């Protein structure tokens, strides 16, 4: 006992998978983006049933991730005579963070002298 999964390709039904009866999930590999039409049939020792009513599945076209990305991080340290200001830039740190770098973390270390 089991099931057969069919896909309609260019108007012709092609068997994509034979599924044992104890399984209720199947993974089809090589599925591309676009509209797909599927149908199933049941099997046992006497043969194969008629196929089910076809169902449509739309697989979205997922874009590939961007490459060669550079993020420039700019941090500034500001000082003021009081919390109310006026604030002025004391120091600036600029770090280019490239996706291809092996560094994964940066930290700010505070030292008081």
Listed in order, strand segments (DSSP E) in 1-113 are: 2-9, 12-20, 34-44, 47-48, 55-59, 70-79, 88-98
- pTM of this structure: 0.55
pLDDT tens sequence across 37-64 = 999 999 999 999 999 999 999 988 888 8
Residue 30 has pLDDT above 80, yes or no: yes
Could you say which DSSP state residue 37 is in?
Answer: E
Residue 51 phi/psi, 5-degree rounding, is: -75, 150
Residues 42/79, Cβ–Cβ less than 8 Å? no
Closest CA to 51 of 93, 10, 16, 94: 16
């Amino acid at each position: 006992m089991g099931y057969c999964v069919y896909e309609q390709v260019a108007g012709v039904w092609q068997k994509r998978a034979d599924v044992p009866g104890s399984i209720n999930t199947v993974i089809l590999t090589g599925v591309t983006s676009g509209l797909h039409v599927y149908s199933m049939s049941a099997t046992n020792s006497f043969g194969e049933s008629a196929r089910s009513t076809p169902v449509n599945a739309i697989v979205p076209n997922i874009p590939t991730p961007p490459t060669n990305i550079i993020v420039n991080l700019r941090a500034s340290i500001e000082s003021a005579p009081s919390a109310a200001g006026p604030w002025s830039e004391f120091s600036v740190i600029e770090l280019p963070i490239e996706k291809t770098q092996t560094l994964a973390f940066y930290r700010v270390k505070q030292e008081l002298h």
